[in-house]
Amino acid sequence: MSKIEFKSHVPVAQKAALEALLFFNACQERVSACIADAIEKFGAPEIVADRDRLRIHMKGLPEVQSLFAIDVQTGRPVGVAVYARQDIEHVTVVHIGITSEFASGGRRANEQLLLKLLREVRRSTRRVKGIRTMDLFYATATGRAGPSRATAKVLM
């Protein structure tokens, strides 16, 4: 079991792994309706290079931020949360990606990477003055993603 660290960027050398995580993720079918809703509302995520680092850009959210879960041994991104401050009190997580090995049913699912990633987003946004809630765009009232998606709120 390798260690995971959280960073705001991914090295350019990991572009293929980031593309696989963000665009070709085997787990996307579980939340495909939510992904389509997020793209319609916020725009499609794009990977952009900023010198020797990669970040996520979204045309519909110019101030979007990303938090990456990085496997320390390989440097490979294994999770990402893309979020933005919607107004003075709210942060919305508009996209989440976790590699299949960490997803439900994956060989490392017991490490609860999704929960750790969301906790880290919450921890980092708590430091921003005025933020009171974090909205999870993919969440549903029933706990499953799908056509009846409703945004879930997490109090800071």
Which CATH number belongs to the domain containing residue 115 in this structure? 3.40.630
Q: Global pTM?
A: 0.81
Residue range(s) defining the domain that contains residue 45: 4-155
Secondary structure of 82-141 in the HEC alphabet? EEEECCCCEEEEEEEEECCCCCCCCCCHHHCHHHHHHHHHHHHHHCCCCCCEEEECCCCC
The pLDDT assigned to 139 comes to 61
pLDDT digits (tens, 9 = 90+) for 129-147: 777 777 777 664 333 443 3
Give the number of other Cβ atoms within 10 Å of residue 7's Cβ.
13
Q: What is the pLDDT of residue 29?
A: 64
Tens-digit pLDDT profile for residues 29-47: 666 667 777 777 888 899 9
Report d(CA 141, CA 24) in Å as an integer. Answer: 27
pLDDT single digits (tens) 64-123? 999 999 999 999 999 999 998 877 777 888 888 899 898 888 899 999 999 999 999 888
Nearest Cα neighbor of 27 from 93, 92, 101 is 101
What is the number of domains present in the chain?
A: 1
Q: Closest Cα to residue 83, out of 130, 45, 129, 37?
A: 45
